[in-house]
């Protein structure tokens, strides 16, 4: 290609969640913890979970199939397919190769891309790789398909309520209504054992919760500072701050951390702005003038002042992006993009048109990136932005039609999953009655660990 493709970004987006959930308030009572520990302490209302009928392959098959069908996508127009996940069924065979079943029967096998793995970050890696592919000399004019999916489960204990599951698929190409800003992405990569999965026989991670939060906030600081420096040059802005962003989205392990993260960006702005401007704009932070950010990660007084200073900004730019996270839980690699969907369904196309949103992606271990999206200025009826938003009308009804499961039954499902998830041969026993039409589900694992799937008729 002799020129940049125009307006490369997200053309379409699709999501799926488990058909059943556990209520976090009921889970508090079942776990005999203080009232509000999960609902107020974590900011979570409901948590989706999978039975033995769904695994990472079935989730990704379902969301990919739904995207192709809902948007009537010609499979011959897809030239790249990449999956981001940390939910591994096999140390060699990729989820992407399983998804090829949706293409190969029609002879479409010329698709670049493979799986990207890192805790909670693989979906962003797959998205950025696909954007880079469209903007590279390797691009052949076709679009890319990005799939992010995970099942987040934890052993009994304080981390279990921060689980969740789901998958999101995105179509990437030129002339998109959601355009990734070029030249302003900022990343921070570092070695850390804050969250990792060293035991291949277990789905459960090893977690250092306090370290993980510190890693998250430290990476956020660094990415935001670098993003602002790049944005000032790219956009011709003298002083980049939250004022230049219409919404800010975060990877959401749990909603309360996102609330603290937005406050953290206000603290960053306070530290970066001229002193007189900072003091007048954020009075609760006045006594922290000259504060060193790296010394404040466990300072509750600074955290409270930052939260007090950021309430209006949070309500205006971040609160509504937590709809899916609050209702489904932590989806790992799709989590940030659940926030994107939540943002898109919270406003009309005309309200979204012409706005800029920042997105912060974090994966333990650790990897992180901040980037921004400029939304098309045309939100009129029939425009690509209007069509994309209209196609997301199924999200709230899908959330509402899920089936609530008691904490006792939820706990049994996880105990059975812990016992059976590596068995071969194995035949799942959970009912498929709750699954939506078009949902792929596991039917059998044979004695060679080969998995077969069926689909609920549409």
Q: Strand, helix or coil at 43?
A: coil
Q: Which of 14, 28, 82, 86 is catalytic?
A: 86
Instruction: Report the DSSP pairing between strands 367-375 and 356-363.
Output: antiparallel
Hey, what are 244's tokens? 């230049």
Q: pLDDT tens string for the chain (458 positions)?
A: 457 899 999 999 999 999 999 999 999 999 999 999 999 999 999 999 999 999 999 999 999 999 999 999 999 999 999 999 999 999 999 999 999 999 999 999 999 999 999 999 999 999 999 999 999 999 999 999 999 999 999 999 999 999 999 999 999 999 999 999 999 999 999 999 999 999 989 999 999 999 999 999 999 999 999 999 999 999 999 999 999 999 999 999 999 999 999 999 999 999 999 999 999 999 999 999 998 999 999 999 999 999 999 999 999 999 999 999 999 999 999 999 999 999 999 999 999 999 999 999 999 999 999 999 999 999 999 999 999 999 999 999 999 999 999 999 999 999 999 999 999 999 999 999 999 999 999 999 999 999 999 999 98
Sequence ranges of the binding site for CoA: 212, 256, 260
Element (H, E) at 91: none
Q: What are phi and psi of 112, to 5 degrees?
A: -70, 175
Catalytic residue (choose from 50, 60, 120, 223): 120
389 is catalytic: no
User: Catalytic: which of 251, 255, 386, 389?
Assistant: 251
251 is catalytic: yes
Is the separation of the CB atoms in 145 and 171 below 8 Å? yes
Q: How many residues are given for the chain?
A: 458
Question: What is d(CA 230, CA 212) in angstroms, rounded to the nearest whole number?
Answer: 27
CB proximity list for 263: less than 8 A, separation 6 or greater: 303, 306, 307, 309, 310, 314
Cα gap 265→448, rounded to integer Å? 50
pTM equals 0.97
Q: Kindly state the tokens that stand for 116.
A: 């990207």
Dist. CA 389–CA 391, nearest whole Å: 5
| Structure token digits, residue 47 | 């948590």
Q: CA 37 to CA 26: how far, in whole Å? A: 11
Note whether 401 and 255 are within 8 A (CB).
no
Residue 2 pLDDT: 57
Cα–Cα distance for residue pair 171/386, rounded to 1 Å: 16
Cα separation of 224 and 221, whole Å? 5
pLDDT given for residue 99 in this prediction? 98
- Under a CB-based contact definition with an 8 Å cutoff, are residues 293 and 214 in contact? no
- The pair of three-digit structure tokens given for residue 375, joined into one six-digit string: 């939304």
- Cβ count near 276 (within 10 Å): 8
- For the annotated binding site, the residues are 212, 256, 260
- Residue 3's CB is within 10 A of a number of other CB atoms, namely 5
Told to judge if 86 belongs to the known catalytic residues of this protein, a careful annotator would answer yes
């Amino acid at each position: 290609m002799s020129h940049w493709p125009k307006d490369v970004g997200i053309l379409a987006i699709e999501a799926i969640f488990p058909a059943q959930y556990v209520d976090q308030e009921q889970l508090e009572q079942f776990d005999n913890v203080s009232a509000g520990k999960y609902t107020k302490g974590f900011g979570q209302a409901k948590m989706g979970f999978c039975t033995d009928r769904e695994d990472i392959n079935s989730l990704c098959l379902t969301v990919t199939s739904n995207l192709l069908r809902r948007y009537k996508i010609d499979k011959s127009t897809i030239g790249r397919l990449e999956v981001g996940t940390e939910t591994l069924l096999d140390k060699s065979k990729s989820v992407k190769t399983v998804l090829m079943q949706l293409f190969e029967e029609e002879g479409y096998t010329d698709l670049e891309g493979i799986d990207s793995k890192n805790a909670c970050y693989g979906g962003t890696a797959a998205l950025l790789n696909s954007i880079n592919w469209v903007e590279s000399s390797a691009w052949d004019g076709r679009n890319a398909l990005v799939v992010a999916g995970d099942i987040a489960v934890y052993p009994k204990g304080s981390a279990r309520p921060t689980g969740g599951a789901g998958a999101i698929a995105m179509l990437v190409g030129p002339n998109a209504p959601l355009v990734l800003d070029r030249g302003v992405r900022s990343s921070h990569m570092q070695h850390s054992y804050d969250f990792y999965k060293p035991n291949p026989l277990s789905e459960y991670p090893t977690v250092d919760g306090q370290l993980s939060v510190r890693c998250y906030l430290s990476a956020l600081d660094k990415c935001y500072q670098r993003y602002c420096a790049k944005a000032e040059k790219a956009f011709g802005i003298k002083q980049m701050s939250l004022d230049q962003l219409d919404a800010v989205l975060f990877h959401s392990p749990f909603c309360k951390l996102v609330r603290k993260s937005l406050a953290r960006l206000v603290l960053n702005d306070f530290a970066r702005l001229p002193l007189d401007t900072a003091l007048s704009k954020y009075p609760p932070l006045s006594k922290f003038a000259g504060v060193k950010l790296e010394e404040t990660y466990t300072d509750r007084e600074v955290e409270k002042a930052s939260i007090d200073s950021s309430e209006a900004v949070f309500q205006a730019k971040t609160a509504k992006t937590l709809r899916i996270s609050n209702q489904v839980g932590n989806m790992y690699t799709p989590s940030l993009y659940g926030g994107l969907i939540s943002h898109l369904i919270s406003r009309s196309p005309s309200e979204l048109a012409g706005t800029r949103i920042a997105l912060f992606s974090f994966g333990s271990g650790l990897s992180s990136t901040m980037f921004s999206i400029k939304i098309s200025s045309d939100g009129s009826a029939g425009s690509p932005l209007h069509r994309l938003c209209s196609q997301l009308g199924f999200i709230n009804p899908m959330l509402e039609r899920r089936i609530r499961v008691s904490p006792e039954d939820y706990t049994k499902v996880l105990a059975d999953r812990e016992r059976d998830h590596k068995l071969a041969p194995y035949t799942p026993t959970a009912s498929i009655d709750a699954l939506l039409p078009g949902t792929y589900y596991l039917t059998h694992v044979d004695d060679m660990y080969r998995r077969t799937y069926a689909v609920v008729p549409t």
